Amino acid sequence: MDLGIKGRRALVCASSKGLGRACAAALAAEGVHVTMTARGAEALAQAAAALRLAYPDVEILEVAGDITTPEGREAALKACPEPDILVNNAGGPPPGDFRNWSRADWIKALDANMLTPIELIKATVDTMIARKFGRIVNITSAAVKAPIDVLGLSNGARTGLTGFVAGLSRKTVRHNVTINALLPGPFDTDRLRGVSAGQAKASGVPVEQILQTRMNENPAGRFGDPEEFGLACAFLCGARSGYITGQNILLDGGAFPGTL
């Protein structure tokens, strides 16, 4: 299926690994020129090189920096000042007990997972509106629909972003600018494996057993493949997806037990 976005420009934040990288790859496969960001320059350079090799006809730019800082966002926007497609992503806040979280912890989480995407939307949405094409995808979490108690910082920050976007996305769609969120359940990424390794260390249970138990608990009997996530992102960015906006789409193998 040709998504009709060949030659468009995308800024895909936090994309040297995992879900962001899969979104960058799926967009490049559609002929989209992609600007990738991450803090670690080496892994970012490797990821960008792999995409250049796989998709020699598209331009792949890389910008090393922390997207949750004003400097990081400025550098990303300098490389890709007027994206047609914006994929907002960053690392998630740490788990913990809310009794131990200070105001600074909350501000950090809000900065990373709520205010950074809002700042990037603010910087790009009006040029999208002027050009009558824009696709914004926020990578949030299944925890927006089914909060996980130890991830209170994430639940709070991401739900704040979701509420903000719910309003704005109904204003922009008239101009063929859509804003949606993809809500990952468990996907097989470094993050998932890192969290599981931490649980293994704390509990003494072998990491393979922890991973197998988590897979068994999911209705699909497995983790999501990041490639599946990237393809869903590319679909939302497609030329013919202009009637989908303000949606929060779960990709969780059916783990959320509700009807709606």
The footprint of ligand NAP (CB under 6 A) covers 14-20, 37-40, 43, 66-68, 72, 89-92, 139, 141-142, 184, 186-187, 189-192
φ and ψ of 189, to 5 deg: -125, 175
- Report, in Å, the least distance between residue 72 CB and ligand NAP: 6
Q: Judge contact between 106 and 150, C-beta under 8 A.
A: no
- Give the residue with the Cβ less far from ligand NAP, 54 or 130: 54
Q: How far apart are alpha carbons 124 and 11 in whole angstroms?
A: 10
Choose between 146 and 173: whose C-beta lies nearer to ligand NAP: 146
Closest chain position to ligand NAP (CB): 18
Least Cβ distance, residue 28 to ligand NAP (angstroms): 15
172 vs 187, which CB is nearer to ligand NAP? 187
Of 190 and 227, CB closest to ligand NAP: 190
Minimum separation from the CB atom of position 210 to ligand NAP (A): 14
Task: Choose between 43 and 239: whose C-beta lies nearer to ligand NAP.
Answer: 43
Least distance from ligand NAP to the Cβ atom of residue 21, Å: 6
Minimum gap (Å) between residue 143 Cβ and ligand NAP: 7
